[in-house]
Amino acid sequence: MDAAQIEQVRRFNRTVTERVGVLHDHYLGRDRPVGEARLLWEIGEQGQDVRRLRQRLGLDSGYVSRLLRSLEADGLVTVQPQPEDRRVRTVRLTDAGLAERAALDARSDELAGALLGPLNTAQRARLVAAMAEVDRLLTAATVTLDIVDPHHPDARHCLRSYYAEIQERFETGFDPTRSLLPDAAELRPPHGLLLIARLHGEPVGCAGLKLPPGAPAEVKRMWVAPDARGLGLGRRFLAELEARAAKHGHSVLRLDTNKALTAAISLYHSYGFQEVAAFNDERYAHHWFEKRIAAPLTTPTQRPCPDGEAGSVGAGP
Amino acid sequence: MDAAQIEQVRRFNRTVTERVGVLHDHYLGRDRPVGEARLLWEIGEQGQDVRRLRQRLGLDSGYVSRLLRSLEADGLVTVQPQPEDRRVRTVRLTDAGLAERAALDARSDELAGALLGPLNTAQRARLVAAMAEVDRLLTAATVTLDIVDPHHPDARHCLRSYYAEIQERFETGFDPTRSLLPDAAELRPPHGLLLIARLHGEPVGCAGLKLPPGAPAEVKRMWVAPDARGLGLGRRFLAELEARAAKHGHSVLRLDTNKALTAAISLYHSYGFQEVAAFNDERYAHHWFEKRIAAPLTTPTQRPCPDGEAGSVGAGP
DNA sequence: CCAGTCCTCTGACTAGGGTCAGAAAATGGA
DNA sequence: TCCATTTTCTGACCCTAGTCAGAGGACTGG
């Protein structure tokens, strides 16, 4: 991270907050305070629990309540207790609310149009491409990795999605009972661990690590949600797992995988794994990989890793 | 401008306002209201007139005054009337103010670092490159073109800079008295016009157009400030002049230029000009160009123009 | 069935950021 | 000289966005 990079980022921040920020307030805050507009937007067409709204926007419960009352007074929303749990209340947009939200939507489009407007066709295409890149990388930077218990709801969500995906993608389908599935205890300290990637609090990927004493560490059940692919998450998982395996004194990391997972296979290659002979008799595996790993040097989360990127459905079941 | 582009711009806006915006307030608003911080920053190390501050930040005079008083109370600035015009007051940072500004600067660096921090080396490089592109194009989009009188201070500034630059770049130097200089009347309606490009209110380029009745329109004195090159301004000038010439009923646009201005020459080629035989005896010209132009179809400022980009020192004296 | 917890709401309060209408001083042109 | 204009300052306001401390209804485990 050199001074020129820092300088460029700062210039970017200035330009963007000026240009986008000003237009943002101008277009979106036209009739309605920004807080209400944000809330109206977040409620969505389906409606939302107040609790979730608070969580997603990171707002004080009192504040949300007040905003909702204001929207209710304008006839834009209705708030009703949930039948199953009458403490939780659900907000729904009325027809007027839906119309208002649509207007907001149109204004967001206008705003975007105002940014592109003064440019010619080629410049527009370049701007949009660069924005996509910035967007993708900034999003990637907000993904957090945490160790969670395999029974945590987020973990279960990811593992279920993982099984569903490989069941569909493996040529032979996938039957969990015929695979060498690690049970939860194997992915729970001290025998191993399970990482969950979260984006804005939502689980978007998982990766397990087995740490058998006296044997190579093993990557298991690496999966990245379709929405979160292209963010370099697979690589980041591998880097994190490698660092953690090293910290536990392992000098070899290995994994097996199915031939259908081509993106994962090329990730393993590019990340420095070597294909080796089968080291287990997993019936769904076609490839076995191994990588020698070094003693830990820097903190795991900050450690840079080699360049490149790859799809992210991952290490064998 | 299609729906997918709009959608991407909106996604960009969301991500950026979230990520940059949140960090911005977190880092910069730490001890001090954002308004004061902005002002402190804008005063700069040299000091500033209150009037200019107000102008540049687009703030109410009362508000600025209040902010200044608050900074003064904290011992960060001193405000003194200008000797020449005692209505205008000049703000200068005290030593404490300079220190505070430096601290602010450091925090801006931290902020930029926080954006890059979670990424690996390759990702950082890509993010910075994409940010530079977005920055450049958004900046380009904020440049305005206006017709001004050749005697307007901004026009004089550009023309002076233009002469200074060609004097330096022409192999033989440049002596205005030996060139076919159009006088001010030729670049003033109805005989012609002079466009000034402005970025944040500062003049950053000019381009003149002669509209002799019954003869081809002629581009004169096209110049773009060094800071503003690479924004596609040269091309934009040409497109604007072409549209205006067409609107005045001209069907040919021509210009002459010096061989030292290579970037300009390639711009003319790529914009669709054909090199032709000398149509005047300008002693500083080596190349003469001509382009057939069409009747106007759409509004001049929004009309898209062919792709590409080029440097922008321009059409002959 | 009851004690503790969860969820939402209410009232009271704050800071920031900004607008508006003059007032006062300085200047410039007729 | 006098009057209009420019520039800054002051006081009186406003709204938004939020925080904090309870109150009270609804649920849950023992």
Q: What's the pLDDT score for residue B295?
A: 66
Reply yes or no on whether the pLDDT at A205 is more than 80.
yes
Q: What's the pLDDT score for residue B227?
A: 87
Pairwise pLDDT comparison (B48 vs A177), residue with the higher score: B48
Pairwise pLDDT comparison (A95 vs B34), residue with the higher score: A95
CA distance A134 to B15: 9
Reply yes or no on whether the pLDDT at A283 is more than 90.
no
Determine the Cα angle at B299 with ends B303 and B143, to 5°: 60
Q: What's the whole-number mean pLDDT along residues A80-97? A: 89
Rg (CA), chain B: 24
CA distance A313 to A165: 9
Ranking A25-39, A92-106, A115-129, B93-107 by mean pLDDT, the lowest is A25-39
Distances (CA, A) of A129 to A73, B137, B234, B310: 42, 11, 23, 20
Q: What's the whole-number mean pLDDT along residues A148-167? A: 87
pLDDT in tens, B163-189: 888 888 887 877 766 665 667 778 887
Interface membership of B56 toward A (CB under 8 Å) = no
Pairwise pLDDT comparison (A303 vs B257), residue with the higher score: B257
| The two structure tokens encoding residue B136 | 């450049």
Cβ within 8 Å of B, A 233-262: 235, 239
Please say whether the beta carbons of B222 and B312 come within 8 A: yes
CA distance B140 to B134: 10
Distances (CA, A) of A163 to A39, A236, B7: 35, 21, 32
Please say whether the beta carbons of B272 and B284 come within 8 A: no
Q: What's the pLDDT score for residue B67?
A: 93
| The two structure tokens encoding residue A254 | 């290995």
pLDDT in tens, A211-221: 999 899 999 99
Rg (CA), chain A: 24
Binary contact (B8, A128; C-beta < 8 A): yes
Say whether the CB atom of A240 is under 7 angstroms from strand D. no
Q: Place A306 in a pLDDT band, splitting at 50, 70 and 90.
A: very low
Kindly state the helix (H) or strand (E) to which residue B143 belongs, with its residue range: none
Q: What's the pLDDT score for residue A266?
A: 92
Interface membership of A140 toward B (CB under 8 Å) = yes
* Residue found under tokens 């924004």: B231
Q: Place A62 in a pLDDT band, splitting at 50, 70 and 90.
A: very high
Q: Place B287 in a pLDDT band, splitting at 50, 70 and 90.
A: very high
Instruction: Fill in the DSSP letter of residue B119.
Output: S
Nucleotide whose C1' lies closest to the alpha carbon of residue A66: C9
CA distance B186 to A52: 67
Q: Place A156 in a pLDDT band, splitting at 50, 70 and 90.
A: confident
Q: Place A108 in a pLDDT band, splitting at 50, 70 and 90.
A: confident
pLDDT in tens, B201-232: 788 999 999 999 989 999 999 999 998 888 88
Q: Place A180 in a pLDDT band, splitting at 50, 70 and 90.
A: low
Reply yes or no on whether the pLDDT at A25 is more than 70.
no
Distances (CA, A) of A70 to A35, A75, A79, A241: 11, 9, 12, 48
Residue B126 with chain A: CB contacts under 8 Å: 133, 137
Tell me what percent of chain A is helix, strand and coil, each rounded to the nearest 5: 50, 20, 35
Please say whether the beta carbons of A143 and A204 come within 8 A: yes
Strand partners, A78: A92
Strand D and chain B: which residues 86-105 have CB closer than 7 Å?
A: 87-89
Protein-proximal positions, strand D, CB < 7 A: 6-12, 15-22, 24-28
| The two structure tokens encoding residue B1 | 């401008």
By percentage, how much of chain B surpasses pLDDT 70?
Answer: 87
Q: Place A316 in a pLDDT band, splitting at 50, 70 and 90.
A: very low
pLDDT in tens, B224-261: 999 888 888 999 999 999 999 999 989 999 999 988 88
Interface membership of B106 toward A (CB under 8 Å) = no
Please say whether the beta carbons of B98 and B104 come within 8 A: no
Q: What's the whole-number mean pLDDT along residues B132-138? A: 89
Alpha helix (H) residue ranges in chain A:
3-16, 22-28, 34-43, 50-57, 61-73, 95-116, 121-142, 153-169, 233-247, 262-271
| The two structure tokens encoding residue A38 | 């944000």
Q: What's the pLDDT score for residue A294?
A: 79
Q: What's the whole-number mean pLDDT along residues B15-29? A: 71
Binary contact (B131, A9; C-beta < 8 A): yes
Interface membership of A227 toward B (CB under 8 Å) = no
Mean pLDDT for chain B overall: 84
C-alpha A201: how far from its chain's center? 8
Please say whether the beta carbons of A205 and A224 come within 8 A: yes
Pairwise pLDDT comparison (B311 vs B105), residue with the higher score: B105
Q: What's the whole-number mean pLDDT along residues A290-314? A: 53
Q: Which domains does chain B have, with CATH numbers?
A: 3-118 (1.10.10.10), 143-292 (3.40.630.30)
Binary contact (B16, A135; C-beta < 8 A): yes
Say whether the CB atom of A87 is under 7 angstroms from strand D. yes
Q: Place A71 in a pLDDT band, splitting at 50, 70 and 90.
A: very high
CA distance A288 to A285: 7
CA distance A165 to A225: 10
Q: What's the pLDDT score for residue A184?
A: 72
Binary contact (A135, B20; C-beta < 8 A): no
How does strand A192-199 pair with strand A144-147? antiparallel
Q: What's the pLDDT score for residue A29?
A: 60
Q: What's the pLDDT score for residue A26?
A: 63
Residues found in chain B: 317
* Residue found under tokens 């009747």: B295
Q: Place B307 in a pLDDT band, splitting at 50, 70 and 90.
A: very low
pLDDT in tens, A221-269: 999 999 888 888 999 999 999 999 999 989 999 999 998 888 999 999 9
Please say whether the beta carbons of B217 and B180 come within 8 A: no
CA distance B314 to B262: 9
Amino acid A120 reads N
Residue of B16, B59, B121, B270 best to disrupt the A interface, most CBs of A under 10 A: B16
Residue A19 with chain B: CB contacts under 8 Å: 138, 141-142
DSSP of B161-185: HHHHHHHHHSTT---GGGS-PPPGG
CA distance B245 to B30: 54
Reply yes or no on whether the pLDDT at A138 is more than 80.
yes
Strand C and chain B: which residues 56-75 have CB closer than 7 Å?
A: 59-63, 66
Binary contact (A15, B138; C-beta < 8 A): yes
Please say whether the beta carbons of B19 and A142 come within 8 A: yes
Distances (CA, A) of B113 to A4, A94, A123, B37, B117: 12, 44, 28, 20, 6
Q: What's the pLDDT score for residue A310?
A: 35
Reply yes or no on whether the pLDDT at B46 is more than 50.
yes
Reply yes or no on whether the pLDDT at A281 is more than 50.
yes
Mean pLDDT for chain A overall: 84
**Strands of the A287-292 sheet, one edge to the other:** A144-147, A192-199, A202-210, A217-224, A252-257, A287-292, A274-276
